[in-house]
Amino acid sequence: MQPAPAAPAPPLPPGVDRLLALDELRAPDGSLHPHWSAFLASLERMGPDEVGRRRLDIRRLLRENGVTFHVHGDPSGRHRPWELDLVPWVIAPADWEQLEAGLTQRAMVLDLLFKDLYGPRMLLRERVVPAEAVFSHPGFLRTCDKMHHRGERQLVFHSADCCRDPDGRFRVLRDFTQSPTGSGYALENRTVLARVLPDVFRDCNVERISHFFRAMRDTLARLAPRRRDDPRIVLLTPGPEHETYFEHAYLAAYLGYTLVQGEDLTVRDGAVWLKSIGGLEPVDVILRRVTDVLCDPLELQEDSRHGVAGLVEAVRLQHVAVANPLGSGVLENPGLAACLDRVCRRLLGEDLLLPGPRTWWCGTAEDKRYIFEHLDSLKILPIAPQHGAPVDGWRLSRAERQALQRRMAAAPFLFAAQEPLEPSAAPSLPETEHAPLLSRPVVVRTFLTAKDDGYMVMPGGLTRSVGNEHGAADEPLQELSQELSKDTWVRARARAQHVSLWTSSDVVREPWAVDNVLPSLAAENLFWVGRYLERATACARLLRVLANLFNHSDTLGPETERECLPHLLQALANLTGGPLPASPEELSQWSEQELRALALDPQLGGSLSRTLRLLASNAYAVRDRWSADTWRVIDAIQEHAEALAGYSPLQEHAGMERLQAILDLLLTSLIAFTGYTMESMTRAVGWVLLDTGRRMERGLMLIGMLQGALAPHTPQQLSESVAQQLMEMTLSTLESLITYRRRYRSQLRLEQTLDLLLLDETNPRSLAFQLEQLRSHMQALPRPRRSSRTSPEERLALEAYASLKRMDALELARYSTRTRRHEVLHTFLADQFRLLAAMSDAISLSFFSHAGGPTPLARRRATTL
């Protein structure tokens, strides 16, 4: 596959004489660079068809692994799939060594600058750094002044967006120093591309990146104020709604850290503790993905819901380490970029090896005059997002430029400006099959971690194509938003060696002690994953029975169908919480469309569509707990849910048969998910809670089914044929029909049906089996130390089990002519439902209620006014 001719240069901003992208693939004379030859030769050997197949493999793997990115305001949906180009950016060893040296120096300069700004402030006194540029930036946290952090390097992690200018020199577009994002996506890109192109990866002798993550883990362990041989490190995330939550969960699972939200942590006696369901556990290091000012509602932003009240004081007392340190956001100030070269010469006595685009800070009279004179050819950068978004001066009308100039004149210290810079262009695979490679501008996000003698640079990074299909450059993105991503291949001079993430240690950890440290929010999500899983399965089974009833109404006869339908719809309403028609006359007019609304309406609290959405949401919230195979099943469930949401009987020629086919596939995936949780999860407290949710919901669904189909309040007894049909459909829905036939070999009888579904402890679908499992699980849940009392949830489980053991099938099946219903059965089911619901409330009160964080006073006042 040959590259396409170079694309024409994009329109130039006014006043710019030269803005031509460097071609990463070709030398100036048109010849291919040698470090690309091995990859291009491999691509040529594959041929267009094989290349297309492997691109499909990439998309499949990314979707199955649940790799997503949340783009705010995206009309296509909350989570967009991650896009990875088959063609990486291949970098020669000499070029990478140049970039690596510049990045290392830059990180050291920023680290020294951070120490000075929160320490002696020598650079401010000497006017190397203007004080207005620092103190006007919201990232400078006065509460963190003079705060010392453990370790030689205060700036533990550093990330920078880099590109090459038309002269071939690497430049930094932006630094990231608060919570550098993207390394997890870079790791996933590498994992997927190495799997899809294993032979090409090997032939190109690409540097490995696993040793970077090992160094990252070692660095964090050294920050621990205590237990440095076995520290407890947590990754603090804003939660599942954050745009890069996938990466948070992915890194936590890969590095072996506990993924937590602010509500999972608390500060007691100046130390940070993890609120697990087994009690409070000390936290030594926090790897944060939360913005500086949101980390502590007590001393920083008071209305933050993502932070931990008292965290700043715990850091001040050196009882916990936070990476990156609080207050490091000030280093992302574009105003500091204008003086970073002076800072480097003052601190290190050398010029900056890796400069950025030429930058001016509007706070000085000279720079302000230059910016105003060249406003139509510069990129205007507010020093913080609170002051607005970056603006391209050449894209503004005259009136817009005048308005911007008035804003800048009112507060010039809040603005900086940069010259436009066109990134170099690298080859990319086009969307059209059999088309030549496109040339697109690229920006790479690089990652560094501190070590004893300096910094280590990841030999690779997250590259993004920031051009369009025609190769023209779009604006380089300031944030990690979703464009076409690329893996970054650094060619090794010697044979690249695999480095294991595992480290040797003399510390022996108790596996059960580790497995049972489960954050309260994660515990609650696992519990509800189990409940929604069973609820979705029960609804899908009953809906399939109803669809079959519509499809084969001629077989049953109109009379039988008319008498069975109200009871089955009542059962469906019990399972979904949906409304039913007020009168039998209205019910008789029901059609497939009304049935679809009851079961598939996403606005209905318990509908199948909403249940599947809640199942996916709760599963995503504990993304770090699932294996890759399990997540593939979750992805399949989401695909079937989308097909279900798009189903319309009015548009389907096959009517309910199409619905049955979708439900068959959905049930297969739901059962597979259940199987993975049963066969692959260790029987630690997380699994106990998940299975508790499953058993509880299965019991509730069984009760709702029986109340609607077999124990209704009817004015007369059902006819024999209708009763037989309802029992068969009930047994089929509850996956017990084959067992009944094999065991009893006779026509259906109510007492035998109730015995199998309620009292038989050997039937995994019976209520007795669920209560026995729940009784066992209640005993396995963690209890307060030195407590011998029976917990409320244990008492409820025992009461429900004892009530069931007193029951007799014949008594349950007895029909009362006085009340015209199965009185004992009706009372028993209502009592069991009450006990199971109370048990759910007791579990929530015991293990989940403390997950909610304190409401800030500012928000409480606003609510009461």
Residue 528 lies in a domain: yes
Task: Provide the pLDDT for residue 8.
Answer: 41
pLDDT of 88 reads 96
β-strands 484-490, 89-91 pairing: parallel
Residue 206 has what pLDDT? 94
pLDDT for 680 equals: 86
For the segment 291-309, the average pLDDT, to the nearest whole number, is 93
- Kindly state the average pLDDT of the residues 133-152: 89
- Look at residue 5 and tell me whether its pLDDT is greater than 50: no
The answer to whether 132 touches 140, Cβ cutoff 8 Å, is no
| 3-class secondary structure, 176 | strand
- Which tokens hold the place of 234? 């947590």
Judge whether residue 862 has pLDDT over 50. Answer: no
Rounded average pLDDT over 232-260: 92
pLDDT at 283 over 70: yes
The answer to whether residues 187 and 212 touch, using CB atoms and an 8 Å cutoff, is no
Mark out the alpha helices in 208-263 (DSSP H runs): 210-223, 245-255
Kindly state whether residue 607 falls inside one of the protein's structural domains: yes
Looking at the structure of the chain, the number of domains it has is 1
For residue range 596-633, what is the model confidence (pLDDT) as tens digits?
666 777 777 788 888 999 999 999 999 888 888 888 89
Rounded alpha-carbon distances, angstroms, from residue 120 to 125, 127, 128 = 9, 13, 14
Q: Is residue 260 within 8 Å of 235, Cβ to Cβ? A: yes
pLDDT above 90 for 510 = no
Which pLDDT value is given to residue 569? 81
Q: Looking at residue 493, what is its pLDDT?
A: 83
pLDDT value of residue 470: 42
pLDDT tens for 338-391 read 999 999 999 999 999 999 999 999 999 999 999 999 999 999 999 988 888 899
Least confident of 19-23, 536-540, 563-567: 19-23
Cα separation, 254 vs 272, whole angstroms: 23
Answer yes or no: is 807 within a domain.
yes
* Mean per-residue pLDDT, 696-702: 96
Percent of the chain past pLDDT 90, that is, above it, reads 58
Q: Are 308 and 272 in contact (CB under 8 A)?
A: yes
Q: Give the number of other CB atoms < 10 A from CB of residue 36.
A: 23
Residue 503 located in a structural domain: no
Give the mean pLDDT of 428-450: 87
Query: What average pLDDT does the structure give for the chain?
Result: 85
Rounded to 10°, the helix 823-843/685-709 angle is: 150
Q: Which of the four pLDDT bands, split at 50, 70 and 90, describes residue 73? A: very low
Distance from the first to the final alpha carbon of the chain: 67
Tell me what pLDDT residue 459 has: 96
Residue 155 scores a pLDDT above 90: yes
CA 776, CA 487: separation in Å to the nearest integer? 49
CB 41 within 8 A of CB 199: no
| Domain annotation covers residue 255 | no
Q: State the residue range of the domain holding 589.
A: 522-851
Q: Mean per-residue pLDDT for 272-288? A: 92
Rounded Cα–Cα distance for residues 445 and 477 (Å): 11
Task: Tell me if 513 is assigned to some domain.
Answer: no
List the single range of 244-253, 344-353, 554-563, 772-781 with lowest mean pLDDT.
Answer: 554-563
What's the rounded Cα separation, in Å, for the pair 471 and 441? Answer: 7
673 C-beta neighbours (distance < 10 Å), count: 24
**Alpha carbon 741 to chain centroid, angstroms:** 46
Answer whether residue 379 is part of any domain.
no
pLDDT band at 563 (very low <50, low <70, confident <90, very high): confident
Give the model's pLDDT for residue 651.
47
Q: What is the pLDDT of residues 806-860, one digit of tens each?
A: 999 999 988 877 777 788 999 999 999 999 999 999 999 888 865 444 444 444 3
Reported confidence tier of residue 572, pLDDT bands at 50, 70, 90: confident
Q: What is the pLDDT of residue 453?
A: 84
Cα torsion 277, 280, 284, 287: sign:
positive
Give the model's confidence band at 75: pLDDT under 50 very low, under 70 low, under 90 confident, else very high.
very low
- For the segment 284-292, the average pLDDT, to the nearest whole number, is 95
pLDDT in tens, 748-760: 899 999 999 999 9
- The answer to whether the predicted template modeling score (pTM) of the entire model surpasses 0.75 is yes
Q: Is residue 780 part of a domain?
A: yes
Average pLDDT over residues 294-303: 93
Q: What proportion of the chain, given as a percentage, has pLDDT over 70?
A: 84
Give residue 135's pLDDT: 93
Question: Model confidence over 527-558: pLDDT tens digits?
Answer: 999 999 999 999 999 988 888 877 665 555 66
